[in-house]
Structure 1
Amino acid sequence: MMTTDIRPDDFFKLTCASWISQALGIAAKLSIADLLAEGAKSVEELAQATESHAPSLYRILRCLSTVGVFHEVEPRHFALTPLAEYLQSDNPYSLKYLAITNIDEWRWRVFGDMYHTVKTGEPAIKSVYSVNNYWQYLEKNTEPNLIFSQSMFGIAQNCQIQLLKSYDFSKVGKVVDIAGGQGLIISAILKHNPHLQGLLFDMPETVFDAVKFLKAEGVDERCEVVGGDMFKSIPSGGDIYLMSYIMIDWDDDSIVKFLENINYAMPKNGKLLVIDPVIPVDNQYHWSKWEDLYPMCMGHGLVRTQAEFKAIFRKSGFELVNIFSPEKPLSLMELVRV
């Protein structure tokens, strides 16, 4: 029967966790953290500034204060907390748009159909929007695409870039960033390692906008931009090849295909760096286990264990030789050719 150390309210917290996401996203959309940058304010002041209903706004902020986002310093007056600072627009590590995209209507509808995925194996996004994956949806919907892209920018600042700052590039001459988008990751690598040359590779329509971004970051003279299809061929000439947060979106067969292309393009003594979540094999909480529900509903990818990654790498002609920060949401894996 019931155990004495588990209370019903522990279960209530789990069943109502989606309310936290909603409240967090609403605070982000209203820019509450920006309004508190100079100090605590009353709910009435915040409601006036955001053109909101003060009693309802108070109830949202009161809830968020119970999970460490904002602090009610006196009745109906709220201040920032360290967690709330992630919602500030001018914070270089801001995750404001991650909170907003998580409550975007299209995502809410997809995850609301997760039961369909569990019963049939078909991604919920296909049953809801008649597309095969979330990229196809975003290509047709400009505003959700922009919000999603900004959320990925925030994740990269907090995760991928921090992992790569600790990696030793001192004996490397050139890094090739595969599916590197507009160049955020490669520009950060180049700025942190002034001796390096870079190559940004992605679809032609994606890298078209990258030239302007790389110039704004001051690395355009050290970074070549190449458009193409990673399923057909990969540019040669790199010492290190990088795939950052890409494999989560693809099935095993697709990964093997583009890894074989990388293997063909790489020099014999080259290395491949892969950044992706890695699921630990235990019953403990790890963000990667929850993140796996995203590709389950949004396409045909998945989050993998270290053993599953090793099997794919081996099939593609690679060997995993190092894994850095497996306890974090994203890990850095170092591969060499077999």
Structure 2
Amino acid sequence: MTEQDAVLTKFREYILGPLRFMNVLSCFELGIIDALREEPAAGMTAERIAKATGLRVGAVEQMLLLPVKEGLVDHNEESEVYRLSGIARVQDGDLARVLPWMDMMKEVCLRQLYWLTESVRSGKVVGLKELYDFDGNFYEASTHYPHLQKAWGGMMDSVTGFIDPWFHEHLDVPQNARVLDIAGNTGLGAVLAVEHKREENISVTCFDFAQKEAEARETFRAHGVEDRCSFIGGDVFQAVPTGFDVVMIKHFLDMFDKENVHRILTNVYEALGVGGQIVVLSPVHPEDITQSSSVDFFPAYFYGCTMAEGGPQKVSTYAKWMTDCGFEVTKVVSQDIATMPADMIPAHGLICGTKTRP
């Protein structure tokens, strides 16, 4: 293959990407995959799948062409029977992690990315204005449109559930620490912090927009940790609540450019007393960007779908910004990509700091 052909092949993959994605996702949404799960050994003909799903036979055959080509589904042309192949080898827990990502990509990304170019030019999420007549960022919009919150929240809860064991394995907190979870969203992060740090007997306060309070408190109630978790409504750009030993900032700094990251870190610094700790968990880019799929996802996601700014940085960059805002950096850890599930997009970094002077 010539160098020109290699480049043209990449363009072909870009062109086909959205169509391939929706073809596979629709096979799940239409019930085709569930129908094949019902008889994994015997398999089903297109006629039987059509009867089970209420689809036309021709539609079933067309929708399964790509999954067959990709090895996700097997087709015996003599018997005309379809069986799950690649999909059958994926454990339910792994598939439960993948599908929320696919749902989020459809609901949050595909439609809004039509206006990516305009969003980059204007510094505003144009898709939100065009689709919902909403002026603001995605996270504000999600409090008004439940289907957006559901799609994004499901993906975020999946990411949180996956990364939190790694995060807490590398996190040291003082005994009986009072922890503030900035941008705590549904409260799941606070719950997981309490569960992972039971021996340390910590208490966690979720800090987010006031509109998130009811959902967060319901999360606390559902997990039986109402005595260890609480909620404060507010805006991190206005002020950070005082009286805490540790401030956690998880999956939040990457939403902003340098200027706004500095504003957040400065507000945290002012809210903490001497000896107070800051803990940042964020998607990060590796030094060699060819070793990660994060650059495939985050620039378009942040600029076209959520904030019209931001994007992950290298851990060294976050550490420098933390130092610039007065903290002494005490720990920097990057997730080992080789240990991650093959489907995972973001790799994370943990950056810890301490306020050492008034």
Range into which the TM-score falls when normalised by the shorter chain: 0.7 to 0.9
Distance 1:119 1:38, change over 3 A: same
Pair 1:79-2:84 in alignment: yes
> Which residue does 1:47 correspond to in 2?
50
1:260 aligned counterpart, secondary structure: helix
Distance 1:237 1:122, change over 3 A: closer
Distance 1:189 1:67, change over 3 A: farther
1:94 aligned counterpart, secondary structure: helix
Distance 1:208 1:56, change over 3 A: same
| Aligned equivalents of 2:95, 2:275: Cα separation in 1 | 36
> Which residue does 2:66 correspond to in 1?
63
Pairwise mapping of residues 313-324 of structure 1 onto structure 2 (< 5 A)? 313-320=322-329, 321-324=331-334
Matched-pair contact (CA < 8 Å) for 2:284–2:349: no
Normalised by the length of structure 2, the TM-score is 0.79
Render the CA deviation track for 1:195-227: whole Å, top value 9, x for unaligned: 332222222221222112112112221222222
| Aligned equivalents of 1:203, 1:312: Cα separation in 2 | 25
Deviation at 1:33, TM superposition (A): 4.6
Aligned residues: 333
Pairwise mapping of residues 132-151 of structure 1 onto structure 2 (< 5 A)? 132-151=136-155
Pair 1:213-2:215 in alignment: no
Unaligned runs of 5+ in 1: none
Deviation at 1:112, TM superposition (A): 1.8
Normalised by the length of structure 1, the TM-score is 0.83
Pair 1:191-2:198 in alignment: no
Distance 1:84 1:16, change over 3 A: farther
* C-alpha RMSD of matched pairs (Å): 3.2
| Aligned equivalents of 2:165, 2:86: Cα separation in 1 | 23
| Aligned equivalents of 1:83, 1:245: Cα separation in 2 | 32
Pairwise mapping of residues 296-311 of structure 1 onto structure 2 (< 5 A)? 296-298=303-305, 299=307, 300-311=309-320
> Which residue does 2:299 correspond to in 1?
292
Q: Work out the percentage of aligned pairs sharing the same amino acid.
A: 18
Unaligned runs of 5+ in 2: 341-345
| Aligned equivalents of 2:94, 2:164: Cα separation in 1 | 16
The one-letter amino acid paired with 1:304 is Q
The equivalent position to 1:101 in structure 2, one of 104, 113, 118, is 104
1:49 aligned counterpart, secondary structure: helix
Deviation at 1:185, TM superposition (A): 1.4
Matched-pair contact (CA < 8 Å) for 1:182–1:209: yes
Matched-pair contact (CA < 8 Å) for 1:117–1:296: yes
Matched-pair contact (CA < 8 Å) for 1:176–1:238: yes
| Aligned equivalents of 1:155, 1:52: Cα separation in 2 | 34
Distance 1:206 1:122, change over 3 A: closer
| Structure holding more helix per residue | 2
Matched-pair contact (CA < 8 Å) for 2:289–2:295: no
Render the CA deviation track for 1:122-177: whole Å, top value 9, x for unaligned: 5443663453322344344332332222222222223x323224224464433321
Matched-pair contact (CA < 8 Å) for 1:245–1:276: yes
The one-letter amino acid paired with 1:50 is T
| Aligned equivalents of 1:257, 1:119: Cα separation in 2 | 24
> Which residue does 2:343 correspond to in 1?
none
Deviation at 1:35, TM superposition (A): 4.3
